[in-house]
Structures are given as structure tokens and as C-alpha cells.
A and B are shown apart, each in its own frame.
Chain A
């Protein structure tokens, strides 16, 4: 018979996820909730949370600094750009900025890999996948993905629920219900479905316990068995989806970035959290790769991103889950501290990570640093101060290690499969 421990280990090494020991019934999970927002393409932190002004005699680094100055909200410096002021004025106490994070690449795929999995070799899951696998793996949609980088390392499966069609979604969430009937009206007698499920499960178990079966069949059977057992928990999600008129509108960001569904992603993720059917979600906003006409393309995108974060927190408040929510925002890397010949900015490995939590003790703080030309400076892991003698450059692995520790998942069975050992420990979170 296939062993649970073995199954977990195998699953992590195969192409997709498998069963994990059940830690919570879906509705009983009251722990932290995680959203990561992937600013896909490489955001310009010199016009956001690591503001840079032009240096006489050097290449122009930011256009805004020709007429503006670095602004401050609490202890956080920001660029007077897009809607940064409104955002930082409102959220600086909830925000930790980690600057000078070196993605060690200028390639998008490697940048995504490094920033979201914690290393620049493939095989590791995203932070969100690891979080879900560690915290509440048997929630029916424990790990939500809305596109972008979503490697699971095989420890959990990602679910997709985006889309504006409420009827489609509710049909999916309650398959044995005539969708246009308000009262309960199944397509198949419920008692009969129970009998069918039992027979299905018996057949699945005959595969799962047979170690002469090839692993692909065995794990797929295991995944299906688990899905059948937890899928009725999705009713809780169906119950709280609002009328479509309450859905946030998509935002047309123009020809370059296209139409953004970011706020809809946020709404669905938060509703899933609220219903106890998910505990982590990867959101994605495309369009930051502004090699030409940087400011005219980047500024509205940054504004939309911070506006959407405001929507996220407001809606989380409305649902009463804001206090449980942690939000991590980052990108593939950053953009050059100079403009190219086409008013654009190309790829630059030194970027930033923003972590948000309501009234966090570690909020209103900036750690890590870059020099005036956006080169990363060495930081002492203990003091978090610049230290050229015993400090180190901050890499994504440091951020991931600190977040794992902060979430208390660093010793989970899932994390054990993907160790971030032998790295310095930055105590970003006090």
C-alpha cells in the first residue's frame, strides 16, 4: 500500500501534486491567509518604493525627479509618481519595504523563478504553494492561481476560479443542482450520488494501494480521490459569491498592458478565503515590461496596482478577514537606472519586495538598500543595517527564508522537501 509519507515525497518529485496529511477541515482553518501579487515583467522600483533622483553628470534615472522630490510617509520613502502618495499615506503603517533584492538575472523566466520560488534553479514551489501545502492542504482550493508563475513542486495542486460569468462559476461549484432553480433541485438523486461516490472511492483505492501500478496512475487516482472527498466544501464558496453587479470592473490599461482583471482576481481570492476553501493565492498583473515609452506605460500601471491593493484591503475589511491577511508584492526584477534610446527602461536585477499586513509590528519600515545608481548594498542580517564588512546582498532566498520563518512553515513536511538551508537569516519581521 502506498504510504502517505511516500506519497508526499513522490508527489513533490512528479509533475503535479498529491495528498497531504489533513491538518484542518476547510472551514476550521483560522490561520493566516496569503496573497502574492506578481508585477509581471519587471517593475520600476525607482519610481515606487526605492526612489532615485537624477545625479548631475550621470544618466537620467527618473523623469519625475526633474521636477519632484522624494516623498515620505511615516518611515517609508517613495517616489511622487502615479498614485504612490495616496497609497503610502494610507498604508505605510501596514507596509514593510525590502529594497536591494538581487534577482541575479535579467531573464524574465529566471527572475520569476527566483523571486517566487526562492532559488534560481527550477524545482521549488512558489511561496504560496508551499504555504498552502503547509497550512491547509485539504481545502478544496487551498492554493489559487490566476496565471503567471505557479510552480507547485508537486506538493499541492493549484486551482483557477477567475472569470466574470457568475452562473458558470456557481454551476461548477454546485454541479448537482439545476442552476436556474433557487430551491434545491438536484440533477441526480442525492442518495444515489452517495452510493456512486462510495463505489468510485472503492475503485480508486484499489489503484492507490497497488504498488505495481505506475506512479502516474497512482498519483492521479490519489488526486481524484482527494478531490471527491473535499469538493462538497466548495458549497461554502458558492454561497457567498455576490451578484455580478457587485463584481469590480475590468480596467483597460491601454494597448500595451491590455485589460486588467486584477481586482476581480482579488475579489475571488478573498471570497475563497472567507468561505474557508482557500488559504493562499497568486495574483498577477502583466504589463510592466516597459522597454519603450516607459513612463507613459508604467505610470498608469503602477497607479492601477496600488489602487487595486487599496481595493484588496478594503474588501478584506468588508469580509472581516483583513487581520488574517498577508500580502507580498514583487516582480521578476526591476528596470534599469537609466533610459534607453526609446524612452524605455530595460531589465535590472536589483529590485524590491513589499510585504503588507494590517498594523504589523514590522510595518512602517524600510530594510535593505541600494546606492544612488540602484546597486544593491550589503546588509547585516542581524542589525539589518548596511555593513560592508560582514553584511551580504539580499537575495530572494533570504526573503523566502524570512517569510517561511514568519509564517511558521519552515519546518513543515512540505518545506523539508525544499530546504533553504545554508543561507543567512534576515529577521525582517522582528
Chain B
């Protein structure tokens, strides 16, 4: 860590050049590199060229044998035929001067030249030309220009030798030697000469970086955050900018620790990376980065490598019919029709068409509402929480305030609470209904943020002044229409309200006068009162929660995981506006605060321009603080960043929230965020987070699945932008179809046994996820025609939509409340198993009695069966009925003599024999050892003959009831 710190420090405060050199000088293994470096240096000085790999290694080996004493081998090194051929005709003084030129790039000074000449011509065997070269080399002083030239030439020589070794550079004959010598001769102490020479070496790390890495990866991706002042400014890598400087930083980091190359490759794949996935391992960019790291590490065989294996190799997809059934139950809350099944079985395009066909009607609407609420949690505002923006005292909606005052004054509590529930549901569901409206009408999904309207039910329509809308009787709560908010006013000089009155039902005010309603700046979900109220703000939070969740939901960016931050209390104990000035804080706030600023006109609870005199929402304490810097006319805090998105600043004119919406939907991240937003609704689990700790069990497998998923999400997002198969851009139905066509949704089994490693990789893939309470409720209804306790009165369920599963037991069955519990249970627990059992026990008897008394062509369950058929008399008919139930209840296609069917038939006979032996009652139940719950009113409809409907002469009705319990509590009924 100390070294890391030093590197960071160096990067920021020292010359990049040092690092560039470091990239060439830090050896793979210290001793061997030392020998090679010594030999390389002699190649440069004596021969004026880089060593060839063979020669360099051979002489390094000899040097090692000599214990590192170069003088022992220097004469042999210098007496080569090459030297004679190239320099044999030169005078001694020229030879000595040539060493100076080749090594230091300058002529020898006269005094030195003469001294060395005297030694050479003295005949002393210790003063050969080669040994003189060694002495000149050893005499170079640190910190001099001479040393800088040596360092630069060594860097080029090493890069050249590596390129030859890698086969990227030719080094075969005189012309190559001449070229290499000229390359070195062109390098001096000027860093530009070094850069030029390095870029001329084919296959060198630098040239490879220049051609493949710098612009496409470092500049276009990494430098968005890894720069001074950027989100990743306190990370280990901060790019100064410029080709050479960036190269120096990156290569130095790679060489600093042998594991750093792998760290970089993990980071770009999203592992422990605040910036998420930048380069999936299957991408070309990842391969290029991997190659570059190998080059820097002088690792020609590939020290780091990408996983190119497909995650889904060997995974068997569910059939088209199975896929359609599963999709129908999840996205349409119904079973597919025969025509849809036929279409699905006609091939992939047929399946796509059939899947697309599911996306209509009430079931699909509810899928959209539920799926959106699982992310936005606005339903909780009317179910569980306060909703200040439309609560008592919400005096900026005068229609609401005055109506409330009227109803309270009248003292009719029921009328008041019914009215209140209606409009509260209207406001709370508006963001969800907006999404549904956009999707169901095939409007571009971008409209969820750019819509210049809201959605209202009868109650909220009144409050926003949408007087022209009409609503059907009996659907007051759940019928939504488009409207513009014309009901909001401001507190200005014309605004007057009464004092708070304590009335019988509660306290209330009247708005006595006001100026006109505001031109509400609709920006889709972003300006919805429910969205604003779900993430209320405070005087110090200043819309940052709204920013955080806007980033999260619509840009796929989790700011809390985005940056490495100091937690040093000393660093954080900064009262000089740290979010603007302290780098330890700005690292996040540079992203958070501009988006927060774009919400500038919405106050703490979500009202628009709620601060006097109605031109802003700044808190009074800030405006009245003489030291705050506030100036009249300001709409945002002066001690925060300007409203905007990232580095883009919103114009001061116009609506910043609408500007933000437009910029978000134009951001490439919006599309992939949409895929992530809808992923749990279809797949039953959120997309994976990147694994963060490499020592965790299963890290490699977790990384592989994460990468695959991110890659698939990115690909889906890309096509979402342009349109699937020629379709329109941003069509969510098309996106949902493609998500359901993927192996993530359709995986059904494997051609091979799945070992532990593969099991981790394939976790959360494919079929048989646990149904949610509502999904199970609707599946039960589609098959039985009944819902558990449907219609029981519950004054808090709109339009009497109460059922036991979806309402009373939802939380016990793993549902969310949108408040404290935000993630659904995805595996069944004993309590949940009890609820599933109760659902079956309360429904089975009524369903069977009802079904057996229907005409044959109206039967859902007991096709071809009458109450006198027993295993003894009608085995084949019973088996046929069971085949039908396997298909209906479980989506299983089994033969009448299959093992699965035999198992069910065996249970049926066992149950029947038990009833024959133990049940003496004439009905299908006996009110002592069992019980029957029939649908409300059904029994009475049959008048005097009611008893006949339950007659069970052969004990088979009771048996079928028990069998239905079996079918309804089976794994395959509870999971799809």
C-alpha cells in the first residue's frame, strides 16, 4: 500500500517521464534483468545497436557464470566478427569517440579522448577497447544529461529487443542492424526523441499502446473518471492526459506489482470497479488491453487471458411451448391459448410473435405496475407511509385543501376517507401508470422521463384540475388517464389561506386566494409527486437522494458503489463546504450534485417552487443567512455545483428537470439501465453485482456469470436504442420479448452434469423461479377460476381487489412493503409453504365441486370425468384426466403410462382406497375430518338441489379434491 501511495503521489506530482522510464527499467526478476541490462548497455555502447535476443541471453548467461563481473567477459564480447566488419577500418581515436557517440550521443571531450587513447595504445591487456567502453559506461554520473541519454537509449534498446523476441520486429541482416543503430542514434535526453523511437518499434508496448489502447480505452473510457478532479481521482491510477503521460502511468502501474495486470483486467470487467463494466472479457478492447499488459510484462505467451468460453455451453433451452406458458403466466397473468401455442411452435419468429402477443390486456398492465413498483416503491405511499406532498396542509393544491376542508367540516368521516384514499392512490400510482401507458401504447420508452403529462385517476384528476376527463363508474381507483397538472399554485402576494382549523375529523385550512396555477414542468417520472415524495429531501440533503436514485434507476449508476473514498475523519472533518472543495467528498458529489441541482425547483416534500414568493424552493434559512451567498433571484444554492448532468451544465433558462430528462434519455446508459430495471420482473432476481473480493469462494465463476450477464445486458441495451429487428427504437415490449428469448429466461437443463463450478456460473439462470404472491394468485385464478378469499371486503384495497394471497398474506409470502422490505423472498420458507398449502386447502374443494357440476365443455379440471368413475372401473379415463392436470397445473407434457403419471395415479388410488375404507359420509367432505369452502353465493344458487352437487357415492370427488391439493402444492405449481 505504501508503494501504491507513492505511485499515486508520483503520478500527481512528479514528471510522467520518470514513470515512462520506469516502465522499461523495472525488471521481471531483479538479478537476471541486471545481467541483461548490463549486457544491453554494452551492446549500445560498443556496437551502437540493441542486442538481439539470442545474443543478449547468451552473454547474460556468461555474465551470470562470471558472477556478474563484466570485465571477465568483456574482451570476448568485444572481439566479434561484427565489430571487425563494422568498425575494423577506423582509427583508435575514432573508435573511442564512437563509443561516446553511441552511448551518450556526443563526442568525447579532447582531454578524455586523449587519456583513453593513451591507455588503449599502451598495450596493457586491461585496457582493450571493450574494457574502455565498459569504463565509459560505468563512469556516467546520475543526474547528468549523459545519464538521461543512457536511460532513454536503454529503454529503446530493450523495447526493440523485446519486439524482436516477440516476432514483431525484423533483425536479420546488415540493413536491420543499420536501421536499429540509426534508431538509437536518434535518441537523446529529450523525451520527444524517446517517444519517437519507441513508436517506431513494431510490436513494442508503447507502439501497441499508441495504436490500440490510448484513444479507444484510456481516453474514451478510463479518463472519464480517472483524472484529477474526476470520480476516481483518489484511485491508484490517475491519467495526466497525453499519449506519453498516459502510457507512463498505466505501464508503471502494471509493473509495480505482478498482480496489477490482473487487477486492471478485473476492473474493466467491473470487479470492484465503481465505473462498472467497461470492457467485457469477450470484447476486442479487453483483448487489446490484455495484449498490452503482456507486452509491458514482457510476457509473450500471454500472462493474462480473457474468458472466451460461453456461459451457456450445454444449457438446454425450454421448448417454445414451455417458454410461452411461463411467459404468459408472468407477463400476462394467464395461460396461453391454443392458437398462441401453435404460433409459438412454428419457430423462433413464431415464438417471438406469440410472446409479443401476450403484451396486452389487464394482466400485462398489472405486470408493468408490479414490476415498476418493485423498483420505484411508490405504492407504499398510500399503503404504508405519509405522502406529504398531498397530505393535510398541502395548501399548494387549493382544490384539494378546500375539498378536504369541506368534507371535514361536514363531519362525514367515511366520505372523507373514501375521497382521500381515491386521490392518494391516484398520486401514488401515477409513475407506475405512466410507465404502463408508455409501454402499452408502444410509445418510446424515453417518454417515461420526457412525458409532458401525468397520469390521473378520478380522485387525482380533480385535484390537478383535469375537469374535462370522465371516468367509468366502478373503476374509480384503477382507471388512469393522461392529464396535465393544472392544480398547483405558489405562495406569492396573492396567496392567502385561513388559519389551521381543528375540525371533527382532523385539522384543515382553506385557500382563500391565489394567483393562477403554475406551468408545472412535467418531466415524466422525475416530476411525479410520488417519485419526489418517495425520496424526500432536507435542507442539507438538497435533492441528493433524488439524484442518487435517478442515477440508479435511469442511468444504472450506483453512486454509493462508484468511488473509492477516504473515510479518514480528519480528512472529512472539513467545514469549508467540503462537497464542493474537499477532494475526499467531491469524488462523489461531482456526480451527485449536478443532478440534485436539476431538481432545484422541487422542495423537501416535492412541491414546486414552494418557497416564498414562488420562484424557487430554496429553504428560508438559507435565503435569510447573510453568509450563505444567496442573492435575490437565485434558484439553487451558490455553494453547490450548478444543475446539470456530469460535466454538462443545464442552461439557466427553461426547466432544469426537463433538461435533465432529455439528457438522461440521450445518454447511452439509459438503455442498459432500462434492461436492468426490468430484469427482476422477468428473471426473478436482480442482475448480479460484480464480485468484489478475489479471495471469495467462487470468485472466478461469479466473475464469469457477471460478465456474461453484463455483456448480454449491454447488447440488449444497444439494440433497444436502435430497435429490434427493424422495430421502433426504445420499444419496451420488444425488449421484453428478447429478454424472454434469452437463455437467462429459457434455460431449462443441461446436456451434462453440472458440477460445483458450473452451478455457480449458472445460478439464477432459467426456469422454476418462485412465483410472487400476486403471480400465484393469478395462476390459481386462471386455472381454477377462483381466488382465495376474493371479494372479502377490505376498505383499504381499492375497488375491492382484496384476496388472501395478494393482500393479507403477501408479506408472509415474501412480498415487499416498499418501505422496510424492498426485496422479495426468492426461495420458499416453511411459513411460505404453509401459505401455499392453505391456498390449496381453501380452494381445492370448492373448485372440484364447482367443476364437476359444470357441463363437460366448460370443465377446467375434470375433463371426461364423472363422479362414478373409479380406478377399478375407469383407469384409462382417470389417467387421461391426470395427463390433462399435469399439463394444466404444471405445464408438464407426460404420457399416460409415464413414470410421472404412474406416480400421480398411484397417489390417487392410495387416496381413494383410504377414503373408501374410512369415509362413511355421502358428500365429498364430512365437516368433521375435512372441510369445504365454496365460492360466495355459489351454494345458494343451486337452491334445493344443493346437496346433490356434493354427493360422492364412490368417494372419488373427495379423492379429486385431495389430488387438487397435491397438484396445487407441488413444486411445479409454485414455481414457474
Contacts and interface: CB of A to CB of B under 8 A. Distances in A.
Interface in B40-93: none
Q: How large is the interface on A (under 10, 10 to 19, 20 to 34, 35 or more residues)?
A: 35 or more
B838 A173 contact: no
B841 interface: yes
A223 to B, nearest CB: 4
Interface string B906-929: 110011001100110000000011
B123 to A, nearest CB: 65
B857 interface: no
A196 B763 contact: no
Contact of A216 (B622, B753, B769): B769
A195 to B, nearest CB: 5
A172 B820 contact: no
Contact of A199 (B272, B819, B907): B907
B962 A196 contact: yes
Nearest to A344: B540
Contacts of B930: 186-189
A357 B759 CA distance: 41
Interface string A117-160: 00101110000000000000000110000111000000001111
A123 B696 CA distance: 9
A172 B834 contact: yes
Nearest to A123: B696
A104 interface: yes
B560 interface: yes
B692 A349 contact: no
A381 B821 CA distance: 37
| B interface bracket (residues with beta carbon within 8 Å of A) | 35 or more
A292 B812 CA distance: 35
B306 interface: no
A123 B692 contact: yes
B834 A234 contact: yes
Contacts, number: 289
Query: In this complex, which of A108, A195, A218, A340 has the most chain B Cβ atoms within 10 angstroms of its Cβ?
Result: A195
Interface stretch (A161-169, A243-251, A305-313, A397-405): A161-169
Interface in B741-756: 747-756
Contacts of A199: 903-904, 906-907, 966
A220 B971 contact: yes
Contacts of A106: 565, 567, 572
A96 interface: no
Interface stretch (B172-180, B470-478, B651-659, B697-705): B697-705
A157 B969 contact: no
Interface string B757-781: 0011011111111100000000000
Interface string A201-220: 01110010001111111111
B540 A346 contact: yes
A59 B576 CA distance: 13
Contact of B765 (A214, A227, A286): A214
Interface in A72-117: 102-110
A268 B692 CA distance: 36
Interface stretch (A5-13, A46-54, A383-391): A5-13
B827 A17 contact: yes
Contacts of B9: none
Contacts of B567: 102-106, 349
A231 interface: yes
A195 B929 contact: no
| Residue among A105, A196, A212, A340 with max Cβ neighbours from chain B (10 Å) | A196
Contacts of B864: none
Contacts of A191: 914, 918
Given A10-B756, A15-B685, A172 B914 contact: no
A188 B962 contact: yes
Contacts of B749: 212-214
Most buried by B among A17, A157, A188, A213: A188
A320 interface: no
Contacts of A186: 929-931
A218 B758 CA distance: 13
Given A12-B697, A185-B928, A159 B838 contact: no
Contact of B830 (A14, A148, A159, A162): A159
B610 to A, nearest CB: 15
B808 interface: yes
Contact of A16 (B539, B826, B837): B826
A195 B569 contact: no
Given A13-B697, A122-B692, A175 B572 contact: no
A191 B906 CA distance: 16
A157 B966 contact: no
A196 B565 CA distance: 57
Contact of A212 (B272, B751, B928): B751
B903 A202 contact: yes
Contacts of B753: 211-212
Contacts of A234: 830-831, 834
Contacts of B625: 341
A126 B112 CA distance: 75
A161 B900 CA distance: 36
B502 interface: no
B689 A122 contact: yes
Interface in A273-296: 284, 286, 291-292
A407 B685 CA distance: 33
A196 B971 contact: no
Contacts of A140: 829-831
Given A59-B575, A195-B907, A216-B765, A204 B971 contact: yes
Contact of B621 (A123, A220, A341): A341
Given A189-B929, A220-B975, A175 B569 contact: no
Contact of A6 (B756, B832, B845): B756
Contact of A165 (B766, B808, B831, B845): B808
B385 interface: yes
Contacts of A337: 573
B962 A341 contact: no
A341 B970 contact: no
A98 B755 CA distance: 44
Interface in B948-976: 961-962, 965-966, 969-971, 974-975
A378 interface: no
Contact of B837 (A121, A163, A175, A217): A175
Contacts of A417: 697
A230 interface: yes
Contacts of A12: 697
Given A233-B830, A284-B820, A214 B762 contact: yes
B965 A230 contact: no
A220 B965 contact: no
B24 to A, nearest CB: 35
Nearest to B697: A417
Contacts of B906: 199
A141 B830 contact: yes
A216 B764 contact: yes
A240 to B, nearest CB: 16
A14 B970 CA distance: 23
Given A13-B702, A121-B692, A178 B969 contact: no
10 contacts: A9-B697, A9-B698, A12-B697, A121-B693, A188-B962, A195-B910, A212-B750, A214-B765, A231-B833, A344-B538
In the complex, the 3 A-B pairs of residues with the closest C-beta atoms, listed nearest first: A147-B820, A231-B830, A175-B838
Given A13-B702, A284-B820, 13 more contacts: A10-B760, A102-B567, A159-B829, A168-B812, A172-B809, A173-B831, A187-B933, A190-B929, A193-B965, A196-B962, A200-B971, A212-B752, A231-B831
Interface of B: 272, 315, 385-386, 388, 538-541, 560-561, 565, 567, 569-570, 572-573, 575, 619, 621-622, 625, 685, 689, 691-693, 696-698, 701-702, 747-756, 759-760, 762-770, 808-809, 811-812, 814, 817, 819-821, 825-835, 837-838, 841-842, 844-845, 900, 903-904, 906-907, 910-911, 914-915, 918-919, 928-931, 933, 961-962, 965-966, 969-971, 974-975
